[in-house]
Amino acid sequence: MSRCDECGKQENMPYQCRHCGGTFCAEHRLPENHGCPGLNNWEDPGGVFDSGFDDSVADESGSSGGLTDRLGRPGGPLGYFRGNVTFVFLGAMWVTFLLQFVVGFVLDPFGNIAATWRFNPLYRAIFVLSPTHPEYVWTWFTSVFAHGGFFHIAINSIVIYFFGRLVEDYVGSRNFALLFLGSGAAAGLGQVLVQIVQNGGIPASAPGVLGASGAGLAIMGVLTVLNPNLRVYLYFILPVPLWLLTVGYTGWTVFRIFSGGIGAGGTAQAAHLLGLAIGLLYGQHVKGRRRIPDQLQFGAGGRGPGGPGGPGGGRGPF
């Protein structure tokens, strides 16, 4: 069951707008009934146009589309991912983190796990985006889900959990997935490229990149553009507007780079800045599609901290 983005009504068989990515009840399914931003682009003076909705959920003619269409319909297997990609990626991060321990143990059962993670070439070839081997394309993405320790993955999970849900609701699950994977990979590659340039070529050995921080900061950048005055409770206590948090973090990162280099504090500082820049640019691209909440409300209806909804679910207000 899903909530209509326009009126909040619970809907068993929602309609998904192909133009804005929203989920709506039968009353607000037409673009002109929910203020779809696509209206500004169709330039139809008569106001009559293709509704742009997948009407297959209401089609009783017995006809069916392709396999992908059937799987992605509300109630289909892929329907559970609509509106829940944030949770899917969070789950993938923690599963990957567990696999890091498993692989590390298999590679060196009686060795130091930290040393295995840092120096074992096979382990690094699986999980770490390294300037020594940037041609290992799979590490562009596995490195986004892998992390260097519990504190590392915990912080990234908090950022993605609270900010990611808002951004996914705004841009749609598909675009959110592309943003997450694209910004995460680009941030890591940017860090590696800077390392290669600084070394005058591919180094024989150099620290690699892993973690979803670049993707998390891209999400934060998007939200900063969409609603800079969003109240965020720093350390769950101090309320600050999101724009101030973003400016403060950017200033601190720039200071660390100038004082200690792009790897200051064992952190991929350049990757963080690049991820944030990608988010800010993408936020400008999608800005104005529809309203975004003014604050994070924990425990409210819809897709709150209780977990994801069902097929196509969880698109309601927080």
pLDDT tens readout for residues 42-76: 444 444 344 343 433 434 444 445 544 544 545 45
The 3-state secondary structure of 94-124, one letter per residue: HHHHHHHHHHHHHHCCCCCHHHHHHHCHHHH
Q: pLDDT value at position 264?
A: 80
Q: Per mean pLDDT, which range of 10-19, 57-66, 290-299 is the poorest?
A: 57-66
By percentage, how much of the chain surpasses pLDDT 70? 74
Mean pLDDT for all residues in the chain: 78
Architecture of domain 2-74: Irregular (4.10)
Q: Per mean pLDDT, which range of 117-121, 164-168, 196-200, 262-266 is the poorest?
A: 262-266
Q: pLDDT value at position 154?
A: 94
Question: Which residue in 151, 1, 11, 3 sits closest to 79, CA to CA?
Answer: 1
What is the phi/psi pair of residue 234, to 5°? -65, 130
Rounded distance between C-alpha atoms, residue 309 and residue 81, angstroms: 9
- Residue 114, burial from CB neighbour count under 10 angstroms (0-12, 13-18, 19+): exposed
Rounded distance between C-alpha atoms, residue 58 and residue 11, angstroms: 13
Higher-scoring residue by pLDDT: 164, 265: 164
Q: Which tokens in the block code for residue 109?
A: 């059962």
Mean pLDDT along residues 249-263 = 88
Q: pLDDT value at position 51?
A: 38
Q: Specify the amino acid at residue 137.
A: V
Q: pLDDT value at position 27?
A: 79
Distances (CA, A) of 163 to 13, 220, 224: 27, 6, 10
Domain residue spans in the chain? 2-74, 85-286
Check residue 272 and report its DSSP letter: H
Q: pLDDT value at position 80?
A: 59
Residues 6+ apart with CB under 8 A from 96: 127, 142, 145, 146, 147
314, pLDDT greater than 60: no
Q: pLDDT value at position 77?
A: 54
- Which CATH number applies to 85-286? 1.20.1540.10
Q: Specify the amino acid at residue 146.
A: A
Q: How many CB atoms lie within 10 A of CB 176?
A: 23
Mean pLDDT along residues 295-318 = 37
Higher-scoring residue by pLDDT: 226, 266: 226
Rounded distance between C-alpha atoms, residue 169 and residue 181, angstroms: 17
317, pLDDT greater than 80: no
Q: pLDDT value at position 106?
A: 93
**∠ at Cα 303 (300, 307), nearest 5°?**
105
Buried b (16+ CB within 10 A) or exposed e, 215-225: bbbbbbbbbbb
Q: pLDDT category, 238, cuts 50, 70, 90?
A: confident
274, pLDDT greater than 60: yes
pLDDT tens readout for residues 180-230: 999 999 999 999 999 888 888 777 777 889 999 999 999 999 999 998 988
Rounded distance between C-alpha atoms, residue 279 and residue 83, angstroms: 19
Q: Specify the amino acid at residue 39.
A: L
Higher-scoring residue by pLDDT: 111, 318: 111
